[in-house]
Amino acid sequence: MKIVLGQGFSIFIILLALATLLLYALWGWPNDNAWWSLLETTYAGLPLGAWIIIVLAFMSFSFSLNTLQKVRDQEKKIESSLRPLLEAENSLPKNKKYAYSKRLHVTTNQLEQLILTQRKTLKRITNEKAEAQDKLIQERIVQERQRLARELHDSVSQQLFAASMLLSTMVELEEAQHGEAPKNLLQTERIVQQAQLEMRALLLHLRPAALHDKTLKQGMEELLLELQQKVFFTIRYRLEEVSLPKGAEDHLFRIAQETLSNTLRHAKATEVDILFVERDNLAIFRVQDNGVGFEMVDAKTGSYGLENIKERAVEIGATCKVVSVPSQGTIVEVKLPIEKSIEPVEIVKREELKDDSNIVSG
């Protein structure tokens, strides 16, 4: 029964998704004019939408029950095919019974091996299907993040920029005419500027975390050059090419995004320095600002952004240190050990040293 329910529910979800996609293709995005008719139109006292769900559920569980019944029928056929062989073995004389039993044993073993092979094949196909689905889901998530980032940048971000420019003009006119601008106008200007920073931090989060074919230095340079054109504070950076595994580069790039996003939203800094270098077999990434800072006790009680940074650092075997002083600024530093592979020349030299030592000892 559990198999029927589980399989039927999975099929129901797939059919419901297909029906939704079909309605979307016919009617477009959900709206009151078209989609509301699923609830307003009734048959036998039930809305049309409820009838669709009932029919899909009936089809799903009927298909699941039918499949299970076919499997059980097949098992019964196999059992009925083997039963005469066992009965025939019992009816044979003792001198022929051994040979017949041996043939039956070989046939049974072959059948068992065939079933085991089929099970392994089905398991492998299931795993490959699950991996493909996970990959497809991740690709769709990235595409959706990019779409949201584009729409926010083209609509809300542009409107905030226009509002900020308009308020700046009004403030300048008020100062030119009356010597100073009204406090409520200045406060509105600060709110809009903070909203711009929040929007840029959000767009920073929505950027793809993977570097694809770029190195970490190239990806960070592109990110920082884009930020320099959009923020109100000074960004200075020093980046070096450091050879790291692909996974470590992607995690460090995401750490950079998280750190800069926190700086945009909370630091209220006028200067930010970014460093990424290699020293003493360590890849060092550091972000330092001169913002408002915070008490380290408050950071331990639960900053979601800092916790994410620390977790990502641990996942790649790095250490993360956060130092902050109120009214003086914050430093976030990540150090990742670099594993150097032994060059072939070094191996040859070691072998030569071993040979020389053998000669001396001889």
Cα separations in angstroms, 198 against 201, 205, 208, 231:
5, 11, 18, 11
Q: Kindly state the DSSP code that residue 279 receives in the 8-state scheme.
A: E
Beta strand 271-279 pairing with 234-239: parallel
Pair 252, 284: CB distance under 8 Å? no
Res. 282: pLDDT tops 90: yes
Residue with the bigger pLDDT between 88 and 179: it is 179
Share of the chain above pLDDT 90, in %: 13
Cα separations in angstroms, 34 against 15, 21, 30, 254, 272:
21, 14, 7, 42, 52
Res. 232: pLDDT tops 60: yes
Residue with the bigger pLDDT between 313 and 297: it is 313
For the chain, give every residue range classified as CATH 3.30.565.10.
213-362
Res. 278: pLDDT tops 90: yes
In the chain, the amino acid numbered 94 is K
Res. 351: pLDDT tops 70: no
pLDDT category of residue 286 using cuts at 50, 70 and 90: very high
> pLDDT tens-digit profile of 174-221?
878 777 778 888 888 778 777 776 776 666 666 655 666 788 898 889
Residue with the bigger pLDDT between 156 and 311: it is 311
Average pLDDT score, the chain: 76
What integer pLDDT is reported at residue 357 of this predicted model?
Answer: 46
Residues sharing a CB contact under 8 Å with residue 39, sequence separation 6 or more, in sequence order: 47, 48, 49
What integer pLDDT is reported at residue 347 of this predicted model?
Answer: 45
Q: Quick one: average pLDDT of 14-35? A: 74
pLDDT category of residue 299 using cuts at 50, 70 and 90: low
Domain 213-362, CATH class in plain words:
alpha beta
Lowest mean pLDDT among 50-64, 66-80, 213-227, 294-308: 294-308
CA dihedral 247, 253, 256, 262 (to 10 degrees): -90
What integer pLDDT is reported at residue 145 of this predicted model?
Answer: 64
Residue with the bigger pLDDT between 281 and 197: it is 281
pLDDT category of residue 240 using cuts at 50, 70 and 90: very high
Lowest mean pLDDT among 140-149, 231-240, 284-293: 140-149
Q: Quick one: average pLDDT of 145-165? A: 70
Q: Quick one: average pLDDT of 24-52? A: 71
What integer pLDDT is reported at residue 298 of this predicted model?
Answer: 62
In terms of Cα–Cα distance, which of 251, 245, 272 is closest to 261? 272
Lowest mean pLDDT among 49-53, 177-181, 185-189, 298-302: 298-302
What integer pLDDT is reported at residue 2 of this predicted model?
Answer: 67
> pLDDT tens-digit profile of 256-265?
888 888 888 7
